[in-house]
Amino acid sequence: MGAAASRDTACLAGMMRSSRPLPSSAEPITVTICGAAGQIGYSLLPMIASGGMFGPSQRVNLQCLDLKLPEVMDSMHGMEMELQDGNFPLLHKSLFTTDDALAFKGADYAILLGAFPRQDGLEKRDVMEKNVMIFRTMGRALERHVKYDCKVLVVGNPAHTNAWVCAHYAPSLPKQNFFALTRLDQNRAAGQIAHHFGISVNEVKNVVAWGSHAKFPDIEHAIIKGKPATQALSTMEERKRINDLFRKEMQQRGASIVKARKASSAMSTARAIVDHIHDLHCGTQPGEFVSMGVWSDHGAYSIGDSLVFSVPVICYGGGRYRVHPSLSLSSSSRDKLRQVEAEIAADRDFAKQFMKSSPGPSAPSSAS
């Protein structure tokens, strides 16, 4: 069975395992994409519309939101025309708007692409303050308009902190429904390993991205060519060399792409978003786990509460998942995990400084 066929079969099987009824083609899934007019959105929309996210028979509604600026609205209009011209059979409806009430109404999944980036001349507190404002707005829109069981994926960095802020301002949504994207780190690491061995990425499984974006990629539990990494990399020296090499590469990869393209990575980020939601919605393959930034109330790996922290998860379809609880970690990995945890906790506490004067909604509104 080919990779695409296996992926589609997994989606069907995962949804059948879910406690929820299997959606029919008459019941489109509604996806909100916030910040849709940018390069990531341009790569992402056709991937969703062609079935990459939910499988080959699931229709979708795309509700796209961006800023009310002339150049942004022109870009959205062009994307709308391209979706029409693309003849995507699974695309039930598309909406491009600057109104968050319309964009978030009835969403099953919400993908938040944008964030305020680090810039030369700006202090960290300036960036954090702006991102708190952005994700306060997003959280309140989610609170008012999406379905109660909507799954929210935050992409814009620092994704772990932004997801935490967003969840704070959407108190009626379960905290377990908020995610930070770290699948790009997992995919990058798998791609580097595949390149090193001259194999397909389908032969690399169970790479873990711990904590947050570009912090701590880990191949200790990877499966390479059907073998544990400890066997595929036969000596301790080789394992250490590969680990050190690809960790350095992962931390510099984004900057390398910007230098080469004069723009940030868009296609690979879009692919990682699709992979994340596909696995969440359709389920992971038996014996496999994937990396997701999730709410840290699971107790695994001694991670403190009330963080959004990337860990290995097993997905069962229909948005259900559990943290893989029992991966053994080397002493150096445990030390690195504690270091990353401290950094993420410090970012969360820093964000709180800008939230004191702007509390979340006083009472939850009814879900659409």
User: Annotated active-site positions, please?
Assistant: 213
| Tokens matching residue 264 | 């940030």
Q: Is 344 annotated as a binding-site member? A: no
Q: Is 66 annotated as a binding-site member? A: yes
Give me the amino acid identity at 243.
Answer: N
Greatest CA separation for the chain: 58
Its sign, for the CA torsion 141, 146, 148, 152, is negative
Q: What is the torsion angle, in degrees rounded to the nearest 10, for the CA atoms of residue 339, residue 158, residue 316 and residue 279?
A: -120
Q: State how far the Cα of 193 lies from the Cα of 214, in Å rounded to an integer.
A: 16
Q: State how far the Cα of 285 lies from the Cα of 292, in Å rounded to an integer.
A: 16
Q: Is 100 annotated as a binding-site member? A: no
Give me the amino acid identity at 324.
Answer: H
Q: Is 131 annotated as a binding-site member? A: yes
Q: Is 51 annotated as a binding-site member? A: no
Q: Is 52 annotated as a binding-site member? A: no
Q: Is 35 annotated as a binding-site member? A: yes
Q: State how far the Cα of 307 lies from the Cα of 305, in Å rounded to an integer.
A: 6
Q: Is 155 annotated as a binding-site member? A: yes
**Host H or E run for residue 111:** strand 109-112
Q: State how far the Cα of 127 lies from the Cα of 96, in Å rounded to an integer.
A: 28
Strand partners, 180: 154, 293
* DSSP helix, strand, coil percent of the chain (3-state; round to 5): 45, 15, 35
Q: Is 41 annotated as a binding-site member? A: yes
Question: Residue 302 gets which letter from DSSP?
Answer: G
Q: Is 40 annotated as a binding-site member? A: yes
Other beta carbons within 10 Å of 292: 25
Helix (H, G, I), strand (E, B) or coil at 317: strand
**Host H or E run for residue 204:** strand 204-205
| Tokens matching residue 204 | 């690399």
Q: State how far the Cα of 347 lies from the Cα of 313, in Å rounded to an integer.
A: 23
Q: How does strand 227-228 pair with strand 223-224?
A: antiparallel
As annotated, the binding site includes 35-41, 66, 131, 155-157
As annotated, the binding site for NAD(+) includes 35-41, 66, 131, 155-157
